[in-house]
Homo-oligomer: A and B are copies of this chain.
Amino acid sequence: MHVEKLNQLIERYLSVSFFVTKKAAALVKCELDEEMTNDQYYLLRYMSKRGVCTSTELASAFMVNKSAITAMTNRLVDKGLMKRTRDENDRRVVYLTLTEQGDAWLKKTEERIHKLVESFIMKFSEQEIESFIETYEKLANILQELEEKA
C-alpha cells in the first residue's frame, strides 16, 4: 500500500472511531437511569454474561487495576445491584454476582440498549453489518493475541 493512502486510512480510522465511541457513549447514557453510569452498565453486563466473577477477572477484562474494581463494586453494592460472597474453601477469594435487583435492572436496560442499537443497525443491509462486524472481530482478535504474547 502507498504510504499516503495508508496515512489517509489511519487518519480516517482515528477520526471515525473517536466520534463513534464518544457518540455511542452519549447515547447509551441517555438510556440509563439518572443515577447509573456507562461503566456501571458495562460492568453489570459483563458480570451477567459470565455469571460469577472475581475482582481479578474483572480487572483484567476491563484493563484496570484491581482497586478500580473494588471502588466500582462498592458503589454497586451500595446501590443494591451487586453482592460479594467469600469463597469458603479459599477465603482470599471474593465472588461477585448480581443481586435480583441488579438482574432486573440489567434486563430492563439491555432491552433499551438493544432497541437503540437496532435502530442504527437496521439502516444497513445484513451483508454490510455482517462484514463490518467480522472485520471488527478480526481486529479484536489481533488485539487480544497481542496481549497474550506480551
Contacts and interface: CB of A to CB of B under 8 A. Distances in A.
Interface of A: 1, 5-7, 9-10, 12-14, 16-27, 42, 45, 62-63, 113-114, 117-118, 120-124, 126, 128-133, 135-140, 142-144, 147
28 contacts: A1-B122, A1-B126, A7-B114, A9-B130, A9-B133, A10-B118, A12-B133, A12-B137, A13-B121, A13-B136, A14-B113, A14-B117, A17-B136, A18-B42, A20-B136, A20-B140, A20-B143, A21-B21, A22-B62, A23-B143, A23-B144, A24-B143, A26-B63, A27-B143, A120-B142, A124-B135, A131-B131, A131-B135
A119 to B, nearest CB: 9
Nearest to A143: B23
A19 to B, nearest CB: 5
